[in-house]
Amino acid sequence: KQEVTQIPAALSVPEGENLVLNCSFTDSAIYNLQWFRQDPGKGLTSLLLIQSSQREQTSGRLNASLDKSSGRSTLYIAASQPGDSATYLCAVGAGFQKLVFGTGTRLLVSP
């Protein structure tokens, strides 16, 4: 059974710092990997989607990498801002529409 782990569970950094969020999964047979952002009391917003044949995706200050062989993905956030404060969720595509989620990393960026 696919299991997804996100470390750390919480992270607090000062504004301007570059940071890395980690996601690991147990089964390398995945369709894709997606990173989401969730604000308190809100739904999930898709940040980056990496298909299984890809190694990384970039959007603005965000860069996500995928290493299927080691079962790892990282989300790199450059020059963090207070507006980046949220919970970041990693989800692995285990089949059509079947995402397996990690429990998230709660990020706080202080001014």
Which of 12, 42, 61, 67 forms a contact with other proteins (CB under 8 A)? 42
Interaction of residue 46 with other proteins, rule CB under 8 A: yes
* Spatial contact of 105 and 4, defined as CB atoms under 8 Å apart: no
Q: Tell me: does residue 92 bind other proteins (CB under 8 A).
A: no
Distances in Å between the alpha carbon of 3 and those of 46, 82, 97? Answer: 20, 31, 16
As a whole number of angstroms, the distance between CA 34 and CA 111 comes to 28
CA 44 to centroid of chain Cα atoms: 12
Site string for other proteins, 16-35 (x = CB under 8 A): ---------------xx-x-
Strand order in the sheet with 19-25: 4-7, 19-25, 72-77, 62-67, 56-59
**Rounded least distance, CB 77 to other proteins, Å:** 19
Q: Please report how close the Cβ of residue 81 comes to other proteins at its closest, in angstroms.
A: 23
Q: What is the nearest approach in angstroms of other proteins to the Cβ of residue 28?
A: 16
Q: Where do contacts with other proteins occur on this chain (CB under 8 A)? A: 4, 31-32, 34, 36, 42-46, 49, 51, 89, 91, 93, 96-99, 101-104
